[in-house]
Amino acid sequence: MPTVEEGIQSQLRNIEKAYGLTIDELVAIVVDSGLTKHNEVVAMLKERYGMAHGAAHRVSLIARDRRAEAPSKGAGAVSLALKDVYARLLALVETLGADVTQAPKKGYVSIRRRKQFAMLQPGSKWVNLGLILPQRPFAGRFESAAKWNALFTHRVRVTTAAEVDDELGSWLRAAYDSAG
């Protein structure tokens, strides 16, 4: 049985064969388009190149990954600040209990107890914290996650280490408690 990576490599070969362009050429097209939102990139590839949805989706993911790996000018300070935010959020997660597991996924980390209750997703301007708290109202920085990720009820965009505070900790603790 092939691995996930082998499946992705097969898909990439099939995309190159079907559309007559290498993955590098397709990524260059995405970069040159100036589009950065996944859905916009997918729509552009489908419209301009007649790509099937799955092929356009894969090319968009590859382009996003390569863009994230490439050094960007002037982003050093922001990147270091967000690394500190991310580290503080992970440290807060580790205080919840010995039964918490972190399951790294492509682009985010799933935070689980008996079931998933939170996730961390680094971005270019903030770190997204997704929480599952169905009984809690949306308030202030604890916004609805409905349009961002349907698996979560709340989303917090954490931009500074100072925002990893007692209030955020109490919401994270509530999500943890409800998952046990």
Q: What is the pLDDT along the chain (180 residues), one digit of tens a residue?
A: 567 787 788 888 999 999 998 888 898 888 888 888 999 999 999 999 999 999 998 999 888 887 766 544 444 444 567 888 888 999 999 999 999 999 888 778 899 999 999 999 988 788 999 999 998 999 899 999 999 999 999 999 999 989 999 999 999 999 999 998
At 109, phi and psi to the nearest 5? -120, 125
Overall number of domains in the chain: 2
Domain shared by 37 and 108, yes or no:
no
Domain shared by 44 and 131, yes or no:
no
Cα–Cα distance, 148 to 145 (Å, whole number) = 5
Tokens coding 167? 């209030």
Domain shared by 17 and 88, yes or no:
no
Q: What is the pTM of this model?
A: 0.58
Cα–Cα distance, 67 to 87 (Å, whole number) = 22
Cα–Cα distance, 163 to 154 (Å, whole number) = 16
Q: Which domain holds residue 32?
A: 4-69
Cα–Cα distance, 22 to 28 (Å, whole number) = 10
Q: How far is CA 14 from CA 47, 86, 167, in A?
A: 19, 37, 49
Domain shared by 52 and 112, yes or no:
no
Tokens coding 152? 């979560």
Domain shared by 61 and 81, yes or no:
no
Helix or strand or coil: residue 86? helix
